[in-house]
Amino acid sequence: MYNLFLLHFFSLAVLEGIAVGFNPDYKVLGSTYPWIARKVLTDSSPQLRSSLENLLYKDGVFDIDRLESLLTESLRAKTDKTLVKQPSEGADSKIVMKEILSFTLTEKGGFVRKIIIQEFAKGLDALGLATLETAAARVPFSTFFFPSLMTEEDIVNLRTFQRLMLLLSGTRRKEDFNTGNTKASPDQNQILYTEELSLVLNQFDSIQDILPVLSVIPELPSESQQQLLQLPANLVRQLISRAAARTVRRVFL
């Protein structure tokens, strides 16, 4: 039995087929995609949440591109309307950032917020490992005595962390990632870790780029501000859980 969302989608597809017969340039699905994206992100039905999770985790790996596309499209109408009312230099990224934060910090955005916190924790964990690895590499002959802490999964998590920072700050991606095979010699891996770490630490060109993030917080709804206060505790719990799991793996595996 089809759920209500799929019935809506099938109805739109039929309408588009009929409309295109009269006007080839008429696109129903294109104009309704923001609604579809928002429905996918906010619907609380188990079937649709399972579909969203499968969509975002292709082969068990988080796909930041898909989340970015869904969030951007779901908020497009509100963002465009606000930009028309408040056209100014730098307003684009600030408005996008405000809309994304407002959505993810509401009850409807709870499922997406849970995913973002989980991936953020993975990224911070990988950032800590990369920092430790880079510091240890400065010690002579350290590679002969200490095994690498970073894994290919950690590299992916570090790249995802950078993309999440860009997404939540309303900034477009500035750098292309090296998505090739990360299997290399210890020296080559160390260069890779250093480059990835440098990209994350230099995410913002200057302190002025961070200020809009802080300025948006007072403008958020009270519900969103309350959820924001709970984020650090949730993030710490995720980090502790990951650190404990990694310790168990290294000791017993």
Q: How much is the pLDDT for 113?
A: 94
User: Which amino acid is it at 215?
Assistant: S
- Copy the structure tokens of residue 127: 């950032």
Ranges of each domain in the chain:
110-252
Cβ neighbours for 70, distance < 8 A, ≥ 6 positions apart: 37, 40, 41
Q: How much is the pLDDT for 78?
A: 66
Q: How much is the pLDDT for 195?
A: 66
Question: Sorting pLDDT into bands at 50, 70 and 90, what band is 240?
Answer: very high
Q: How much is the pLDDT for 36?
A: 77
Q: How much is the pLDDT for 89?
A: 45
Q: How much is the pLDDT for 239?
A: 92
- Among 15-24, 115-124, 202-211, where is mean pLDDT lowest? 202-211
Q: How much is the pLDDT for 62?
A: 94
More confident residue, 31 or 104: 104
Give the 3-state secondary structure of residue 198. Answer: helix
> Does residue 117 contact residue 235 with C-beta atoms inside 8 Å?
yes
User: What whole-number percentage of the chain has pLDDT above 70?
Assistant: 59
Burial of 13 (0-12, 13-18, 19+ CB in 10 A): exposed
User: Which amino acid is it at 78?
Assistant: K
- Predicted TM-score (pTM) of the model is 0.74
- Among 36-40, 76-80, 190-194, where is mean pLDDT lowest? 190-194
Q: How much is the pLDDT for 251?
A: 77
* pLDDT at 114 exceeding the cut of 90: yes
